[in-house]
Amino acid sequence: MSLDRVIHGVRLVDAGTITDRAWVAFDGGLVAATGTGEGWRDLAPREAHDGRGAYLTPGFIDLHGHGGAGFSYDEGPEAIAAARALHRAHGTTRAVISLVTAPLDELATRAAMVAAVAEADPTVLGSHLEGPFLDLDHKGAHTASLLRTPDAASIDLLLEAGRGTIRQVTLAPERAGAMDAITRLVDAGVIAAIGHTSADFDTAVRAFERGARILTHAFNAMRGIHHRAPGPVVAALGDERVTLEIIADGVHVHPGVIRMAMDAAPGRVALVTDAMAAAGAGDGHYDLGGLAVTVADGVARLDEGGAIAGSTLTQDAALRTVVRECGVPLATAVAAATSTPARVLGLGERAGAMRPGFWADAVLMDEHLVVEAVWVAGLRT
């Protein structure tokens, strides 16, 4: 028996545990076998990579990101390729492409564009439409004049344009028609996500009962937790069906609050980047959905009003924040970047773990959780 390649001599972080002296074998773009010790030698791999005691994890999956390396995903296929290369180098082997609010016809064109990219590149998992069905008072970095109610015709136009590749749509459940829109999205196989919202606890509960399954960047662009007005975060924490996105950059959410959320919702927090074009590109002036943004000291803010405008985060940096500053065990943090997003996307039998038959996506990191190597479909990138 001869397989494509083996990565051996690693500390495998997978399925909530860390296994020393582990190895993983890849063949045909899939995980072929795993084990410990020297048993990998019997497989006679064509290529062997000695991990020298580094951490090996499944590839990271980003549910929510807008770009990087100076490019926004909205700009087209070349921009997506450039930004994805940046994030792939930081361990994000597969990602959902998030699109900001735009005129409806233009957003439909962009959804169709992402559908074409996803057909050609299996590491692009489809699109996330963050808008235009958002609340004006919690719009964040979205153009106020373009926000609208989620009527059936608008939903159908976007779904048709996406050709089955729209993964999630973020909306404010308190808007007129939003509950029916959630039902329409769920029936179409799209994840309804709650975010950029003024919804109270009861409204969020009703949205989750309707089928919404993600809380978009929890704590941000929504009501906070108050002891007499708990808001959508508490509603999400109390519903085992709901996954909470968290931007763990040390700016969007305090480390103590991140730890609280991960303790309160074990296995249901997904580490997302919400990265804009400035990720990996440095401080300066940028455009996000037609809005002027200035990045200083790695923090992106709107020129008008000063609201946080996405992040400059990569998922490996998020992992380091959660482990170092929040005190979350490494295996738990890794799950939040791998198995949790895979599960909410319905990929739990193909991604997010190192098991035979799963995608051969892997990230090798040193003791400081700095990426040393990345494999996608069994090939080192």
CB 56 within 8 A of CB 21: no
Which helix H or strand E contains 77, and what residues bound it?
Answer: helix 77-89
Catalytic residues: 274
356 to 22, 24, 28, 33: CA distances (angstroms): 15, 9, 11, 5
Beta bridge partners of 14: 17
Contact between 204 and 223 under an 8 Å Cβ cutoff? The reply is no
Instruction: Provide the residue count of the chain.
Output: 381
Determine contact, residues 58/319, Cβ cutoff 8 Å.
no
Rg from Cα positions in the chain: 20
DSSP state of 229: B
- Kindly give the residue spans of alpha helices, DSSP state H, lying in 123-166: 152-162
| Alpha carbon distance 269, 281 (integer Å) | 27
Sign of the C-alpha dihedral, residues 277, 278, 280, 282?
Answer: positive
